[in-house]
């Protein structure tokens, strides 16, 4: 099944407004319009740089969507420091990351918080990139599939969405590969992504599972992206460190576009 490839950049706590403008202006000269049309490119800046990213992308006439890295599960009220889905929509964002391991681990977001965030984002009309992935310890004891399938089942429990595949993307991100330079072997990453797809078929239905994009994330860069993105069940990459490098982001987009062209041929 042909699924449009995604390159999504998670900028984490990097890039103020000036850096955001400079970066996007610089990469605009290196990105091909045809490549951007062939795939879905997304950048997820920090909240305060979202507007600057949107404006610069518009000025440079780039087909890049802007996403957010987080949202509150609450709508309003006494939640100091939080930002809700409607506030993000006001900024014109298309999607939001939910369940990133840095949120799960550093900010103690458990499965119930992640589920609430997923539901809140979807109800507000945002698309969600739902992240999952095992720790090194979980992998070492052979529990990767059980753990990842459990994360997916918990987040999707009771969810009823007719257009699931166009609203939810899954990102498989083994924690031990994030920001470490240790990329997961591409065949193994593909095996886990295929396992996630069969779990989706079990929870939803086969057609939705076949249509849903599943990304790999964890130390993806221009030197390893071709092999990862060529895998049958991997539909793109969620990229941290390399996505804010001027030479790397366009190379990632070009790789995904080349792979898409192969799938058509």
Residues with catalytic roles: 100, 173
Residue 240 lies near ligand PEP (rule: CB under 6 A): yes
Asked whether the beta carbons of 111 and 101 are under 8 A apart, the reply is no
Residue 241 lies near ligand PEP (rule: CB under 6 A): yes
Residue 245 lies near ligand PEP (rule: CB under 6 A): no
| Residue ranges of E strands in 76-202 | 95-98, 127-132, 168-172
Which burial class, exposed, middle or buried, applies to 235 when counting CB atoms under 10 A from its CB (0-12, 13-18, 19+)?
Answer: buried
**Minimum distance, C-beta of residue 10 to ligand PEP, in the bound complex (Å):** 4
Q: What would the x/- binding string for ligand PEP be over residues 60 to 79, using CB under 6 A?
A: --------------------
Query: What whole-number distance in Å separates Cα of residue 202 and Cα of residue 215?
Result: 19
Which residues within the stretch 189-208 sit at the binding site for ligand PEP (CB under 6 A)? none
Number of residues that bind ligand PEP (CB under 6 A): 13
Longest dimension (CA), the chain: 54
Q: Quick one: 178 or 193, whose CB is closer to ligand PEP?
A: 178
109 Cβ partners below 8 Å, 6+ apart? 99, 103, 117
Q: What would the x/- binding string for ligand PEP be over residues 11 to 30, using CB under 6 A?
A: --------------------
CA angle 257, 260, 265 (to 5 degrees): 125
Residue 10 lies near ligand PEP (rule: CB under 6 A): yes
Residue 129 lies near ligand PEP (rule: CB under 6 A): no
- Residue 126: name the closest of 75, 92, 100, 154 by CA: 92
Residue 220 lies near ligand PEP (rule: CB under 6 A): yes
Residue 173 lies near ligand PEP (rule: CB under 6 A): yes
Positions touching ligand PEP (CB under 6 A) are: 10, 173, 178-179, 217-220, 238-242
């Amino acid at each position: 099944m042909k699924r449009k490839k995604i390159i999504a950049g998670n900028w984490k706590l990097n890039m103020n407004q000036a850096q955001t403008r400079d970066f996007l202006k610089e990469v605009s000269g290196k990105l091909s319009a045809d490549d951007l049309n062939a795939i879905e490119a997304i950048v997820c800046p920090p909240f305060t740089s979202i507007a600057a990213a949107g404006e610069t992308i518009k000025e440079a006439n780039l087909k890049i969507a802007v996403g957010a890295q987080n949202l509150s599960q609450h709508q309003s009220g006494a939640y100091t420091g939080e930002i809700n889905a409607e506030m993000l929509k006001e900024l014109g964002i298309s999607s939001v990351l939910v369940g990133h391991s840095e949120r799960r681990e550093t900010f103690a977001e458990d499965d119930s918080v992640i589920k609430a965030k997923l539901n809140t984002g979807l109800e507000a009309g945002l698309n969600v990139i739902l992240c999952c992935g095992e720790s090194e310890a979980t992998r070492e004891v052979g529990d990767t599939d059980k753990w990842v399938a459990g994360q997916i089942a918990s987040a999707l429990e009771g969810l009823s969405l007719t257009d699931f595949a166009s609203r939810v993307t899954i990102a498989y991100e083994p924690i031990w590969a994030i920001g470490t330079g240790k990329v997961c072997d591409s065949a193994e990453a593909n095996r886990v992504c295929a396992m996630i797809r069969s779990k989706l078929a079990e929870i939803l239905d086969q057609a939705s599972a076949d249509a849903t994009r599943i990304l790999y994330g964890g130390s993806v860069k221009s030197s390893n992206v071709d092999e990862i993105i060529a895998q049958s069940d991997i539909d793109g990459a969620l990229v941290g460190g390399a996505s804010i490098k001027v030479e790397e982001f366009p190379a990632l987009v070009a790789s995904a576009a080349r792979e898409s062209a192969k799938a058509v041929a």
